[in-house]
Amino acid sequence: MNTPEISVVIPAHNEADNLVELLPEVGRALASRAFEIVVVDDGSTDGTTLITDRLSKEGNLPVRLAKHPRSLGKSAAVWTAVELAAAETIVSLDGDGQDDPAFIADLISPLSDPSVGLVAGRRVNRRDSLAKKVGSRIANRVRRALLADDTPDTGCGAKAFRRSAFLRLPYFDTQHRFMSALFLADGWRIAHVDVVNRPRRHGRSHYGIVDRLAVGIPDLFGVWWLTRRRAKSPFKQQGRPK
């Protein structure tokens, strides 16, 4: 396979039914581009690996699959996928299908500016429960006040970023929730793109408000300390947007 221009990374935990619809949608959205899809099965028990392999063969999709023997969490799955990715331009989508691949072109467009390291999706007409929306709104306000990352919706799984910059970030279990602050601390600009949030088609969410807060608050203060102590990437200090 030729070197892809775009690697779409998808962390998935028990999302087999959603991947059946999502992967072909990614293929259609990027039909005119050189791309690959990297799915990381994060300890699923629903046949995600078998479904992904079948879709790759039957749909003639450029899909690569990695599997964690047990669930290690979303941040670990994203990190594994990005490490395996062949392209410098990464697009991340959640495996639940709520991120619409039709917005991939909009997400990668701001990366033409060499000072932009991360493009964060901003969900419009969110299709989550009222409790989840309120909890997310509170968490975002607290995070923005403490980290000053100027990102209104860090919970959106639809993002585009530079692989080399991402792999220089510090890794920890909930890293995916703080990507904007980490990119900013490394000297990159953040762009924001409105994306339409779709309802979950199959299954149920694996995350709740209580468990997010339980790990989110300690990590928030940890990232606050880290972003103030971390030196910018040597590439950025030298003015090289790598």
Which runs of E-coded beta strand occur in 125-226? 159-162, 189-196
> Which band of pLDDT confidence, cut at 50, 70 and 90, is reported for residue 242?
very low
Residue 153 predicted with pLDDT over 50 = yes
Please state, in angstroms and as integers, the Cα–Cα distance from residue 101 to each residue in 10, 27, 112, 165, following that order: 11, 9, 19, 23
How many CA atoms, within 13 angstroms, populate the side-chain half-sphere of residue 53?
7
Residue 155 predicted with pLDDT over 70 = yes
User: Cα dihedral sign for 94, 105, 237, 86?
Assistant: positive
Residue 161 predicted with pLDDT over 60 = yes
Distance CA 9, CA 93 (A): 6
Element (H, E) at 65: strand 63-68
CATH of domain 6-231: 3.90.550.10
The residue-averaged pLDDT of 134-162 equals 71
The residue-averaged pLDDT of 104-112 equals 98
- The phi, psi pair for 135, rounded to 5°, reads -60, -40
Q: Which residues, in sequence order, are CB contacts of 204 under 8 Å at separation 6+?
A: none
This prediction has a pTM of 0.81
Name the token pair of 42: 């994060």
DSSP state of 3: P
Q: Are 8 and 91 in contact (CB under 8 A)?
A: yes
The residue with greater pLDDT, 210 or 217, is 217
Percent of the chain having pLDDT more than 70? 72
Please state, in angstroms and as integers, the Cα–Cα distance from residue 191 to each residue in 109, 188, 214, following that order: 10, 10, 29
pLDDT digits (tens, 9 = 90+) for 164-196: 999 999 888 888 888 888 998 888 999 999 999
**pLDDT attached to residue 47:** 87
Give Cα 1 to chain centroid, integer Å: 24
Distance CA 34, CA 30 (A): 8
Distance CA 190, CA 116 (A): 6
**pLDDT attached to residue 33:** 95
Beta strands 116-124; 159-162: pairing state: antiparallel
Q: Are 98 and 40 in contact (CB under 8 A)?
A: no
Percent of the chain having pLDDT more than 90? 52
> Which band of pLDDT confidence, cut at 50, 70 and 90, is reported for residue 59?
confident
Q: Are 19 and 55 in contact (CB under 8 A)?
A: yes
Burial of 36 (0-12, 13-18, 19+ CB in 10 A): buried
**pLDDT attached to residue 17:** 93
